[in-house]
């Protein structure tokens, strides 16, 4: 049994809502479930990209005074 996820309320554009409705209907899942999956994927992918950039910057000698 998985732990409950935090409750989040957000606003999206009308165009994004139409796209979300289309995806949810296609996958036969609730819009909130699809939105959560897409948001998880986007956020984790974004953070992964940032981590890659920071590693490359450190390799190239760009770092703060403390080495961060």
Q: pLDDT in tens for each of the 68 residues of the chain?
A: 677 888 888 999 999 999 999 999 999 999 999 999 999 999 999 999 999 999 999 888 887 656 55
pLDDT score at 5? 80
User: In angstroms, rounded to a whole number, what is the distance separating the alpha carbons of residues 51 and 59?
Assistant: 12
Give the model's pLDDT for residue 18.
Answer: 98
pLDDT of the residue at 63:
72
Q: Looking at residue 21, what is its pLDDT? A: 97
């Amino acid at each position: 049994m998985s732990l409950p996820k935090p409750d989040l309320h957000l606003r999206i554009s009308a165009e994004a809502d139409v796209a979300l409705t289309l995806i949810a209907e296609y996958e036969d899942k609730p819009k909130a479930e699809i939105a959560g999956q897409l948001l998880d994927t986007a956020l984790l992918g974004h953070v992964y990209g940032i981590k890659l950039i920071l590693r490359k910057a450190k390799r190239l000698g760009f770092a703060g005074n403390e080495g961060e």
